[in-house]
Structure 1
Amino acid sequence: MAGTSEHAKRPVSALLAGPYGHPIHPILVTVPIGAWVCSLVFDLGSHATGEPRVLAAGSQWLIAIGVVGALAAAMVGFLDLFAIPTATPAFRTGLVHMGLNLAVTAAYAGNLAWRLAAGQPVDGVPVGPLVLSVASLVALAVSGYLGGKLAYRYGVRVAAESAQAEGFTRTPAHRR
């Protein structure tokens, strides 16, 4: 069992996925999460300002940035998934996490296409794209929960406790 879980802590490619104890995937996911949350703020703000077109255009840019960021995070996330032994709860959780993230990315790509086809709104972002953004963020939150489960419960790409202990070992100069 320890060998199985230890395998999931090591990168398939340290160059591409980040070295042991320093995975790149968690860093990259902040781009789409932040961009898509901000796009919803811009969407809502487009209904509360006299210049809805500016915020609607900003939201479109944020959605596009999020899609590109999500694709980059997915490439690295695939490498982390390959490190997890198949037929395990961690692997099944990883598959659901990946599927949700791909669905959310596709939903945002479709949302962007919808907005571009509709043109710039006069009175704020239309209800359809706004609802799609909210639903996509809810799915993203569920996927984020599963990503947390992978890291914090199953220890995927997290350094072993023996390595973590280094951070809690007092040196003689700091003993109390």
Structure 2
Amino acid sequence: MSMDGMRQAKHPVTRLAGPYGHPFHPILVTVPIGAWVASLVFDVGSRLVSADAAALSTGSRWLIAIGVLGAVAAAMVGFLDLFAIPTGTRVFGTALVHMGLNLTITVAYLISFLLRDAGRAVPTGLIVLSAACLAGLGVSGLLGGRLAFHYGVRVADEDTQATGFHPRKKD
């Protein structure tokens, strides 16, 4: 990648993606990750605690919905970050795989939401689907980390970073 391409990938294509050095995508992904991890805990709980199975399965279903909505919001600003990356580069290919995994996982959770009967314990198949989705989310997170921390997409350049390491001025 040329130096111009690297600089291009550090800057937002629009302020909607977050200001320079502060992208919104990494902040927003915490919503679906947290909701979907909690939904798996509720799923398992619905199988272990028969007295509260309905409440736990209902809670899990709504956590999945929150996760899907959060994933849509994260994807929208993630698309904006994708537009900053020069096409035909290794980093662009990594970003496409990251995006493809996340979209597949989001669709799988949407299907899981639609298949659930909130009044009963969650079926084993849907628990396995949730666990598989979380494993895929882990792989996607590794790719997202590579984009930010290895390739520096939407990360401030070293000159900007260096300002934080200057000694403080004494008052």
Normalised by the length of structure 1, the TM-score is 0.93
Q: Per-residue deviation at 1:172?
A: 4.7
Structure-1 residue corresponding to 2:6: 5
Say which is worse superposed, 39-48 or 154-163, in terms of deviation. Answer: 39-48
Residues 13-70 of structure 1 show CA distances to partners (whole Å, capped at 9, x for unaligned) of 01x1011011000110000000000000111111222211101000000000000000
**Matches of 1:171 and 1:28, distance apart in 2:** 32
Residues 128-167 of structure 1 show CA distances to partners (whole Å, capped at 9, x for unaligned) of 1111100111111100100000000000000001100111
Report if the CA contact (8 A) 2:61-2:118 is conserved: no
Report if the CA contact (8 A) 2:68-2:109 is conserved: yes
Q: Per-residue deviation at 1:86?
A: 0.5
Structure-1 residue corresponding to 2:96: 95
Instruction: Say which SS state the counterpart of residue 170 (structure 2) adopts.
Output: helix
Q: Per-residue deviation at 1:171?
A: 2.6
Runs of 4+ aligned residues of structure 1 deviating over 4 Å after TM superposition are none
Report if the CA contact (8 A) 2:55-2:119 is conserved: no
Structure-1 residue corresponding to 2:145: 148
Q: How many residues matched?
A: 169
**Matches of 1:114 and 1:172, distance apart in 2:** 60
**Matches of 1:137 and 1:6, distance apart in 2:** 33
Report if the CA contact (8 A) 2:39-2:60 is conserved: yes
Report if the CA contact (8 A) 2:58-2:118 is conserved: no
Structure-2 residue corresponding to 1:45: 45
Structure-1 residue corresponding to 2:73: 72
Say which is worse superposed, 47-56 or 134-143, in terms of deviation. Answer: 47-56
**Matches of 1:42 and 1:119, distance apart in 2:** 12
Q: Which runs of 5+ in 1 are unaligned?
A: none
**Matches of 1:172 and 1:54, distance apart in 2:** 56
Structure-2 residue corresponding to 1:30: 30
Residues 78-131 of structure 1 show CA distances to partners (whole Å, capped at 9, x for unaligned) of 00000000011100000000000000000000000111xx4521xx21101111
CA RMSD of aligned residues (A): 1.2
Structure-1 residue corresponding to 2:82: 81
| Matched-pair identity in % | 60
**Matches of 1:60 and 1:71, distance apart in 2:** 17
Q: Which runs of 5+ in 2 are unaligned?
A: none
**Matches of 2:168 and 2:38, distance apart in 1:** 44
Instruction: Say which SS state the counterpart of residue 46 (structure 1) adopts.
Output: helix
**Matches of 1:35 and 1:171, distance apart in 2:** 40
Normalised by the length of structure 2, the TM-score is 0.96
